[in-house]
Chain A
Amino acid sequence: MSQMTYLTDAWMITCVVSTATNQARDMLLAARDFGAKGALGYHVRGYGARERLGKLGIAVETDKDVINVLVSSDQRDSVFEAMFRAGELDRPSAGFMYLTKLEKLAAYVPASIMKELKEAGKVRSAL
């Protein structure tokens, strides 16, 4: 059986912002400065919120960008906050973001990193 290494203490940040304002780009740059290694982006269409604003609803864009960023628990709060600020989510209709705890995160861990961590005694055998 092939060996699996999984990461604990992993979290996922998901942001939903409007496409037209190009917020996603600023948020990704901020996330990168704070240590996030990569992201996934989707282009989607949102429904619902604009209907509740009456005539003002026309100001809400329905084209949305969704970005997923995977972070460690140590990075979690700083990256989350930095992305919030970079995306200026403290405006009405600017979008929203949320954090999800990931039970396990599994992928290939490069041998050089694995060796380093093993020597430092940071690899535990999982039960």
Chain B
Amino acid sequence: MPESIRFQDFQRTFWTQNSEISANDIFPAAERDAEGNVIPVPHAPVKLNRAEVFRLIQPYVSVRFMDQIRAVVPLALYLTLFQLLILNQVVEDSWLITGGLLAVIVGLLFFMEGLNLGLMPLGELIGGGLPRKSPLPVVLFITLLLGIGVTFAEPAIGALQAAGSNVSVERAPYLYALLNDWSGTLVLVVGAAVGLAAVVGTLRFLYGWSLKPLIYLALAPVLILTIYASMDPDLTATLGLAWDAGAVTTGPVTVPLVLSLGIGIAMAGGKGGGGLSGFGIVTLASLFPILGVLLLALYVSTTVTPAEIIEAATQAAGAVSQAAPAWYETSPGADIVLGVQAILPLVVFLLLVQKLVVREEIPHKGEVVYGITLTIIGMCIFNIGLTYGLSKLGGNAGSLVPSAFMAIEAVAKSPMYVFAVGLTIAIAFAWFLGFLATIAEPALNALGATAEELTQGVFKKKTLIKAVSIGVAFGIAIGLCKLIFGWSLVYMIVPGYAVAIILTMFSSETFVNVAWDSAGVTTGPVTVPLVLAMGLGFGNATQAIEGFGILCMASIGPIITVMLTGLWSRYKVSRESRSALQAASTTHQTEVQAVL
């Protein structure tokens, strides 16, 4: 005889663990005083024990941690596996690099969270309040200063400065001078150029200028100066740095902060509604620094001769070996000093503007202070990780990849493959590195969503991400070829930008905006140091004069691919709509839809 259990009995035993409280015991009603007025209910903070605090924090941290893991680990894994499987090389100092990468992840985690809690609310407050409180010239001047501040705070700028020590002074004296003796001025010039770009971009929002003439106007002097510099054998070496500087500037600090101010100004002027507002600043912020660095290089070349630089460098090298460097000059100390130096001026500047010009109370003051502290700590940890993790890994990979097709001292049995095969492997390596690094970039996702919205779904988000990734991939592959064959950068930049200008003339305003901005957006704080270090290591191994120039090829690539894709999709849409109009409406419903 089968036993039976009443469902209710089963349910009762099943649910007995549950308990029930009246909401009245937790949420008491407000009491009234003698006159019948309400005494406001005090909102006492809830006390949590340690286990509860852990369970509250755990999802908060792990979501953000995974974001950074996703940005760093696939790339690091790709580089390591490539070295292991194709080149049969064990990664040197693997523990140090792993620790460095962990520092990059934790540093970025702190930095981004601090940015969202501290600097961003401050920037938004100023962006919203400043245009209402001050006349336009003052606002634009503050925008200019902000451009300088954010450039110093950009994490990837540190990579540019770190690259200076690897440049050979005899072969590229001016490049060496720019990156060592003039490195402060270099960043200042780049910052001023970013500030100027922010000013012009803001004016563009305000008066609704088209981006096309601005691009032509900015590109003309840049290209002329580039051609001029390429005539001078000493100046040629600085070209790669100048063009790479443009790609480095537009990172996670600059873009949102400058944009929030620009959009705030445009909104106050009543011109913020257009779908394209917000675009263009990134483009200009990647073109103007090129001009700035080129001009600085020209200026340096008129003040000092190569011989003087080489002499000074050899003297300095002698001096350093005598005195032991102070703690703030060696690696971990110097990284921390750099980190504090980068963020603090920006914070002080923002606070001054807030106090003196905007004069509005900062909401959630404690959170903002916490955020700023977190940003500084994150920047310091990131800098340490940059030195020991990303730069080392990129440099390692860069110096080993050439062993696929040429003889390298460090690698026994090199070249490992027949020249043609090895070369193909090296170029394919660069192509996939570019593709992988870009497709994971979170900023690109946001740009894709905006582009899809702007074009009413004609230009899909996925299409944009693919177009940009392929563009970057080809750019990095071509940049690598430049190092291998020692091509001059001019022969790639001038035709590349000529194609881009022609495509710009034929493309609609929307696509011009999206395409030129996508170039700046792709180069984030993980990609830049990695690619930069790889290029430099590669350059050293192949005996190229300098390893710059890869990043700028990664900028021009997506501009061309996105505009080509845009033109193609426009052609497709026009063909479809033409055929749709020609086809007779078959049913009543489709006829109605056609009218709608």
Closest to B55 in A: A108
| Contact in complex: A126, B23 (CB < 8 Å) | no
| Contact in complex: A37, B19 (CB < 8 Å) | no
Q: Does B35 contact A (CB under 8 A)?
A: no
Residues of B in contact (CB 8 Å), total 28
> Given A33-B40, A110-B48, are A72 and B20 also a contact pair (CB < 8 Å)?
no
Give A64 to B390 CA distance when docked, in angstroms.
Answer: 50
Give A71 to B20 CA distance when docked, in angstroms.
Answer: 16
| Contact in complex: B46, A113 (CB < 8 Å) | yes
| Contact in complex: A75, B20 (CB < 8 Å) | no
Q: Which of B15, B29, B38, B52 lies in contact with A110, CB distance below 8 A?
A: B52
A28-58 contact mask (Cβ, 8 Å, vs B): 1 or 0: 0000111111000000000000000000000
B6-33 contact mask (Cβ, 8 Å, vs A): 1 or 0: 0000001011111111111111111000
| Contact in complex: B38, A33 (CB < 8 Å) | yes
Q: Does A3 contact B (CB under 8 A)?
A: yes
Nearest CB in chain B: distance from A110 CB, A: 5
Q: Which of A5, A73, A74 lies in contact with B20, CB distance below 8 A?
A: A5
Which of chain A's residues have a CB closer than 8 A to the CB of B40? 32-34
Q: Does A59 contact B (CB under 8 A)?
A: no
| Contact in complex: A125, B46 (CB < 8 Å) | no
Residues of A in contact (CB 8 Å), total 36
Which of chain A's residues have a CB closer than 8 A to the CB of B25? 117, 120, 122
Q: Does B316 contact A (CB under 8 A)?
A: no
B46-87 contact mask (Cβ, 8 Å, vs A): 1 or 0: 111101100000000000000000000000000000000000
Give A8 to B23 CA distance when docked, in angstroms.
Answer: 6
Which of chain A's residues have a CB closer than 8 A to the CB of B49? 111-112
Nearest CB in chain B: distance from A115 CB, A: 10
| Contact in complex: B20, A6 (CB < 8 Å) | yes
Nearest CB in chain A: distance from B592 CB, A: 22
Give A125 to B13 CA distance when docked, in angstroms.
Answer: 11
Closest to B49 in A: A111
| Contact in complex: A9, B19 (CB < 8 Å) | no
For the A-B complex with A74-B28, A126-B18 known, give 10 more contacts whose Cβ atoms are closer than 8 Å.
A5-B21, A6-B19, A8-B20, A37-B43, A72-B23, A72-B26, A105-B23, A110-B52, A112-B47, A125-B16
| Contact in complex: B38, A34 (CB < 8 Å) | yes
B220-250 contact mask (Cβ, 8 Å, vs A): 1 or 0: 0000000000000000000000000000000
Q: Which of B12, B23, B30 lies in contact with A78, CB distance below 8 A?
A: B30
| Contact in complex: A117, B29 (CB < 8 Å) | no
Give A6 to B25 CA distance when docked, in angstroms.
Answer: 12
Interface residues of A in 1-38 (CB under 8 A from B): 1, 3-10, 32-37
| Contact in complex: A127, B15 (CB < 8 Å) | yes
A-B contacts, 7 of them at CB < 8 A, read A8-B20, A34-B29, A34-B30, A73-B24, A74-B27, A125-B20, A127-B12
Which of chain A's residues have a CB closer than 8 A to the CB of B46? 110, 112-113
Give B contacts to A, CB under 8 Å: 12, 14-30, 38, 40-41, 43, 46-49, 51-52
| Contact in complex: B28, A123 (CB < 8 Å) | no
Which of chain B's residues have a CB closer than 8 A to the CB of A120? 25
| Contact in complex: B26, A7 (CB < 8 Å) | yes
Nearest CB in chain A: distance from B41 CB, A: 4
5 nearest A-B pairs in the assembled complex, by CB-CB distance: A72-B23, A35-B41, A126-B20, A74-B29, A72-B27
Closest to A110 in B: B46
Closest to B51 in A: A111
Which of chain B's residues have a CB closer than 8 A to the CB of A71? 23, 27
Q: Does A91 contact B (CB under 8 A)?
A: no
Give A1 to B51 CA distance when docked, in angstroms.
Answer: 19
Closest to A33 in B: B40
| Contact in complex: A72, B19 (CB < 8 Å) | no
Nearest CB in chain A: distance from B217 CB, A: 41
| Contact in complex: B23, A7 (CB < 8 Å) | yes
Closest to B47 in A: A112
Give A1 to B148 CA distance when docked, in angstroms.
Answer: 57
Interface residues of A in 52-110 (CB under 8 A from B): 71-75, 78, 82, 105, 109-110
Give A125 to B51 CA distance when docked, in angstroms.
Answer: 24
Which of chain A's residues have a CB closer than 8 A to the CB of B21? 5-8, 109, 117, 122-124
Which of chain B's residues have a CB closer than 8 A to the CB of A123? 19-21
Q: Which of B17, B19, B27, B47 lies in contact with A75, CB distance below 8 A?
A: B27
Which of chain A's residues have a CB closer than 8 A to the CB of B48? 110-112
Give A10 to B46 CA distance when docked, in angstroms.
Answer: 20
| Contact in complex: A5, B29 (CB < 8 Å) | no
Closest to A5 in B: B19
Which of chain B's residues have a CB closer than 8 A to the CB of A75? 24, 27-30
